[in-house]
Structure 1
Amino acid sequence: MERAAIGILMLETNFPRPLGDIGHLHTWDFPVQKRAVGGASAQKVVHEDPRALLDAFIQVGRELVADGCRGLTTSCGFLSLMQDELKDALGVPFASSSLMQIPMIEAMLPTNQEVGVLTISKDSLRAEHLQAAGARGDVPIEGLPRDGAFATAIFDDLPDIDFTSCQTEMSAIAQKLVSKHESVGAIVLECTNMAPYAADIEKLTGLPVYSIVSFLNWFQAGLAPMRY
């Protein structure tokens, strides 16, 4: 069996992970190795300071490296706050957040366009998170409602999720983002659980949509290049 080049530092959760989610193994055309970080709930990572869990992330990350993973990532975009600490502690390429795609995408867009971000929590996503990912701190942001189907399932760690209601919510915030910010020429999905809805958002807005899936496919391509 081919060894996994990418190890995923997972939050400790029980909510469903449909195809397209970072936690669904069939999302990937290559092997990945997942390992949960004890105590790392969505609530603690998004609404509190995830750096309080740094030692736990380092420990699990080192286990994945010892098992042969040559690059690591996480299952939450808010973990950009630990990008520098974890890449140095783990000693391998580390991609903490899909937000890290923003500078590269903006370099490709016309100069009058910019990236817009969709997040699970607009109130919690601060300039500090964006800057830690190498992005501008003032990119346009829209977030899902805390009492909606998507955020409730994630933060309350529910055993079921209403996929249709989540699709409706994603479409609504995407429409809000592009309506408020005509300069948005591409969209980045902060939350790794949003990737299953990327195609719906692209169809609605007509804009390129980048997620943790697009990011890790690129990441993998360097860690384990195709042989031709």
Structure 2
Amino acid sequence: MTIMRGGTASQGTPIGILMADTVSARIPGDVGNGFTYDFPVRFYTVKGATAERIVQGVDEGLLDAFLDGARFLEAEGCQAITTSCSMIAFQEQLASAVEIPVFTSSLIQASFAAQIIQPHKKVGILTDNARSLDPRCCVGYGLTEERIAIQGLEETRAYYPAFYSGADRYVYEEVEADVLWAAGKLMKEHPDIGAIVCEGTGLSPFSPAVSRMAGLPTFDIVTLIHLVASGTLRGMTSPFQNQLNGGETGVPPQWGRPPMGFVEAEKGGCV
């Protein structure tokens, strides 16, 4: 006899995403579009987290709203949480607020990228606004400031307004051209770059084009989400096909965070 447990109103959404309170176009490939993922996600809009407010710096009230959102997603059964706006400066606070993994920025991959390329090569960082990105947020675990190169898109004509003007639409080709311009400028000024990390979450739909142009490994918030999800879902599904995978024991996967999602299996004997 196999006993299935719940414990939350719904199960099966391993990744919770704290969304900024914006109306930007979230196309497939963007962190805020459900079609970006081949597994279920749960979105939570943090009220008041406008682009303007985030750019000015996350204040105490806004941080509290993100913390409340993280706790809500945990209570709803999510097994890991990320954000639609890079909040690396508050990684510790958010991770401490819940019992499940939290990852607030694609910059978490910067040190990983540095480890897989030649030691003399740099990690290029594409960011929405270079003026607001503290280089110290990029380093750690063997990655020093000398090995990073940052390029911002704050002065672009299409990309920056698409996500920070309050507009609900943009011309794809124009935004893509801005992203490729920034990546090209980064490569030209730093020809010793060996990998690229797209820090701005809005860059994710365009990072494949960046990778093709640069010919380099390119990481973004979506690649990080897939990495975390692959670990979370490792024992749950036959990879990302939405199929139960109990293996030889026939025990269904555990949904939700233990002990609420713990599966008890009892083997009956012959009578």
Per the normalisation by structure 2, the TM-score is 0.79
Deviation for aligned residue 1:48: 2.1
Counterpart of 2:131 in 1: which secondary structure?
A: coil
Question: In structure 2, do the counterparts of structure 1 residues 26 and 207 end up closer, same or farther at CA, with 3 Å as the change threshold?
Answer: same
1:7 corresponds to which residue? Answer: 16
C-alpha distance in 2 between matches for 1:147 and 1:101? 25
1:112 matches 2:123: no
Q: Which amino acid aligns with 2:131?
A: D
Q: Deviations over 1:160-202 (max 9, x none)?
A: 1111111111111101001111221110000111111111111
1:126 corresponds to which residue? Answer: 134
1:72 matches 2:72: no
C-alpha distance in 2 between matches for 1:89 and 1:137? 29
Q: RMSD over aligned Cα, in angstroms? A: 2.0
Q: Which amino acid aligns with 1:165?
A: E
C-alpha distance in 2 between matches for 1:96 and 1:50? 16
C-alpha distance in 2 between matches for 1:69 and 1:175? 38
Q: Decide which of 155, 165, 169 is 1:156's aligned counterpart.
A: 165
Q: Which amino acid aligns with 2:75?
A: A
Deviation for aligned residue 1:91: 2.0
Q: Deviations over 1:81-119 (max 9, x none)?
A: 110011011221101000000111111111111210001
Contact 2:110 2:139 in 1 (8 A): no
1:221 corresponds to which residue? Answer: 230
1:42 corresponds to which residue? Answer: 51
Which structure shows the bigger proportion of residues in helix conformation? 1
Percentage identity across aligned positions? 31
Q: After superposition, where does 1:156-175 map in structure 2 within 5 Å?
A: 156-175=165-184
Q: Which runs of 5+ in 2 are unaligned?
A: 1-9, 239-244, 246-271
1:145 corresponds to which residue? Answer: 154
Structure 1 stretch 127-136 or stretch 155-164: which is displaced more? 127-136
Structure 1 stretch 53-62 or stretch 133-142: which is displaced more? 133-142
Counterpart of 1:20 in 2: which secondary structure?
A: coil
Deviation for aligned residue 1:146: 3.5
C-alpha distance in 2 between matches for 1:85 and 1:34? 20
Deviation for aligned residue 1:19: 0.8
Q: Which amino acid aligns with 2:88?
A: S
Q: Which runs of 5+ in 1 are unaligned?
A: none
C-alpha distance in 1 between matches for 2:122 and 2:140? 18
1:18 matches 2:51: no
Q: Deviations over 1:37-85 (max 9, x none)?
A: 11111222233235552111111111100000011000112x0011001
Counterpart of 2:18 in 1: which secondary structure?
A: strand
C-alpha distance in 2 between matches for 1:135 and 1:67? 36
Structure 1 stretch 118-127 or stretch 137-146: which is displaced more? 137-146
Per the normalisation by structure 1, the TM-score is 0.93
Structure 1 stretch 126-135 or stretch 160-169: which is displaced more? 126-135
2:249 corresponds to which residue? Answer: none
C-alpha distance in 2 between matches for 1:128 and 1:53? 23
